[in-house]
A = this chain, B = another copy of it.
Amino acid sequence: MKCDPNNNTCKGNCPCKEYCPLGSALKLIGGKWKIPILCALSQDGTTRYNELLRKLRGITNTMLASSLKELEADGLIYRRQYLEMPVRVEYEITDFCTDLLPILAQLAQWGVQTHKSK
């Protein structure tokens, strides 16, 4: 877990270090909707805003917009805006995020062992 026991000054997510890469990684995909959004984008490829809104049953306008903004700022997705009429905006997974997907797949596989319906 990339921790140094000799340095116990961590103020973040890890008890061992100032800066915990695991903590910062989890922040990027944290929150209620980021995983579902990435999941949808990784399956369907380039997707428009309202398409996402429909596919992610239950998400609100507010949460989709703010989540997309954060994901873009963190380099996980691209936002492409086409100045047509009406406006068209498309979202797509970045290479950085593509690197993440197989890791998440492993995590999902590990999670399968969890049979509890929590």
Name the one of B3, B38, B103 contacting A107, with C-beta atoms under 8 angstroms. B103
Interface of A is mostly: helix
**A118 near B39 (CB under 8 angstroms)?**
no
Q: Which residues of A contact B (CB under 8 A)?
A: 1-3, 5, 8-11, 13-16, 20-28, 32, 35-36, 38-40, 42-44, 55-58, 74-75, 96, 99-101, 103-114, 116, 118
Q: Which residues of B contact A20 (CB under 8 A)?
A: 35, 108
Shortest CB distance A54–B (Å): 9
**B113 near A10 (CB under 8 angstroms)?**
no
CA distance A36 to B96 in the complex (A): 25
**A36 near B15 (CB under 8 angstroms)?**
yes
